Amino acid sequence: MAILNINRDRETTNRIRNNDRSVLGELFLKHEKMVKSYIFKNGGNLSDAEDILQEATIVLWQKACSDDFELTAQLSTYLMSIAKNKWLAETRKRKHRAAQEIPANVADGSLSALDDIILTERAASVKQALNSLNEVCRELLLLFYFEERNFRDIARIMGFNGPDVAKSKKYQCKKALEIALKKSIAEPEGKQL
């Protein structure tokens, strides 16, 4: 049975190489249930499943047309691995986008006036505290937290003697920022009557 599947899969890849477009529909129909099942089980919907299947089929087509393509597994296994990788990449993108969005506390999706004021005040406090730091600390913290650079990159950019020095300096700068934040928060309270 496995030999029959491999021969059928090789025939399919030969049809792809010969630009037989009818094989696209066959691939889609043959693998639709398997891909949909995987996408549904992993948080996707019908539209996601159809998009992923279409993208996976296109990648399979492109790979099969390349000179170095050699089928070493069943075509369904190969297509499914492409679909899984595509879905994992899509879910990572979605999580990244969701993490960047500000959470909403109001049913209509917008921030309440109080939440907006609190966020604005916090951002102003952090900005004020950051600006009170020396140039080295300010740049290091911006590289680490906002540009998400690793310590090796930071050491290279800032001329430190290695990632350990950058890590140690980041710790010192973070402590300085915490002190500056406490100061900026305490100042307005001290000015009240």
Distance from the Cα of residue 102 to its chain's centroid:
17
Amino acid at 172: Q
pLDDT recorded at residue 52: 92
Could you identify the residue written with the tokens 């996601």?
A: 48
Convert the pLDDT of each residue in 101-149 to its tens digit.
Answer: 655 444 455 566 676 677 777 777 778 888 888 999 988 888 887 778 8
pLDDT recorded at residue 193: 36
Q: Which fold has domain 2-100?
A: Rna Polymerase Sigma Factor; Chain: A (1.10.1740)
pLDDT range class, residue 190, cuts 50, 70, 90? very low
pLDDT recorded at residue 110: 59
How far apart, in whole angstroms, are the C-alpha atoms of residue 101 and residue 94? 11
The full set of domain ranges for the chain reads 2-100, 113-186
- 138 is written with which tokens? 């300010």
Q: CB-based contacts of 46: which residues, under 8 Å, 6+ apart? A: 36
Amino acid at 22: S
Mean pLDDT of the chain: 82
How far apart, in whole angstroms, are the C-alpha atoms of residue 114 and residue 92? 32
CA distances 44 to 34, 79, 88, 89, Å, are 13, 18, 11, 13
Q: Which fold has domain 113-186?
A: Arc Repressor Mutant, subunit A (1.10.10)
How far apart, in whole angstroms, are the C-alpha atoms of residue 165 and residue 150? 12
pLDDT recorded at residue 189: 47
Task: Inform me whether the pLDDT recorded for 34 exceeds 90.
Answer: yes
Task: Inform me whether the pLDDT recorded for 33 exceeds 90.
Answer: yes
DSSP type of residue 104? P
pTM, full prediction: 0.50
**Greater pLDDT, 142 or 163:** 163
